[in-house]
Structure 1
Amino acid sequence: MFDWWIALIIGIVEGLTEFLPVSSTGHMILAGHLLGFEGDKAESFEVVIQLGAILAVAVIYWRRVLRLFGFKDAASRAKPKRINLIHIAISIVPALGLAFVLRDHIKLLFSPETVVIGLVLGGIFMIIAEKQQPKITATDMDELTYKQVLYIGLAQILSLWPGFSRSGSTIAGGMLAGASRAAAADFTFLIAIPVMCAASGYELLKNYDQFTSSDIGFFAIGFIVSFIVALLAVVTFIKLVGKLKLTYFAYYRFVLAAIVLLYMTLVGF
């Protein structure tokens, strides 16, 4: 019975944090460690529930995805200038390529200690983006240039360190490249679909032998919970992104890092 609660808790953690600039990977590492849920089964489970989060974004951005492949609607005809597949490719190739080459080395970083470092450094990076943002030249996603999405793609490399946060890195990178917070966040959510599909698909192929028929119900709970929570989290964040500075999320990261350090010192981790 305890396994079902693990699926529920980790599913909520993944869905809530995947698209917020706080690092879902870092939160799942910490939560899994506290719950004693680690190892091959835990890694396979995390891949499956990430697919639930991907589905949530695909549901929200399905019109945008169709436009990328040439399907036109009233919005695209009213605004002929829009991002295309080249923008997407430029923004995802750097991180995906490096992740493929360094996959085994990156796995060695998955520990509470490295997550704390990532939380702090990622928070500092987001504060820098808020304080040093240059003149905004892209107020919405369709105004992003190839150069700006390249900066976003390079910033995404930072998220390979657990705790740094993919969305936090890309939103901050976009802001430092001259994109508004809303434009950077919108683009971040859109490119999450191919990035996470590629990462999760690769991990599924590598770990498919870890799945058993007895795991179906356990994995299904995590998948469904992750989808529902991610859907609510993204919709809420989209509405608040223009008002909420990355600085607030940075403060949360610092507090979490301090709590984890204190816990590690007093109790051990």
Structure 2
Amino acid sequence: MLADAPERGARARLVEFLVFGAKQAWACVFGALLLLVIVAARLWYPDDAALARNDLLVLAAVAIQVGMLVGRLESGRELWVIVIFHIVGTGMELFKTSVGSWSYEDGGVLHIGAVPLFSGFMYAAVGSYMVRVYRLFDLRFARYPRIWITAVVAAAIYVNFFTHHYVVDVRWVLVLAIVLVYARSVMHFHVFRSTFRMPVLLSFLLVALFIWIAENIGTAAGAWIYPHQEAGWELVPLTKLVAWFLLMMISVVLVTFVYPPKAPSASGTLETRSP
């Protein structure tokens, strides 16, 4: 039982590690279920079924979202942020598929242009993770930048996702902007008995890495493919981490609409460590 866990020593650190992993897994439940359905649909769903695979994925994604709300794993307030993630992501998908950045399997009726509607739920899964991890770990931020500054940078990042196809790509300038804006910001997260610290920039990079891993699973399952994968699946280039790192900035700004960043409690008695 966790209540009987030691407060110090190697066993205490092990308990904190296991609880951290369990909380992270619980925060990822939306994305994990959606990824599981994507893989299962590729492995076992018949290609000639009356209901197209893409439409099945849309219905499954809706069912997962309804289940999250009915099970009170997400609140109505959090749903609004997830809907915004969905809209922002779908807008990007419509443009990116039109310029050939990636493509989806044909078929089904639940789509807009060449974009099946389940694609928006992949962005919603990121939003679900962000709002749930905020609550599960009681996130607090030391020296968090002004919200309006982060919003300006996030807006510039979103615009660049479109404009870099026609004018100069300033993604590295935007990466530098993120580094400058968040250079001094530190995230405090409570696990079990202890509260830990992590640079916000490191958390951006780690989440981007896990999204990249999920992206490789999704493309291997054929949910969508990049041009270099048309002749056969290949690993998504590590350079995509830059895009996901930039996306993290947009994601964090959207979440601040529901959970404005709070400073660590000056009177807190929890033990604070650095990972």
Same fold (TM over 0.5): no
How would you bin the TM-score normalised by the shorter chain?
A: under 0.3
TM-score normalised to structure 1 length: 0.28
Q: Higher strand share goes to which structure?
A: 2
Larger Rg: 2
TM-score normalised to structure 2 length: 0.27
Higher relative contact order (CA 8 A, sep 6+): 1
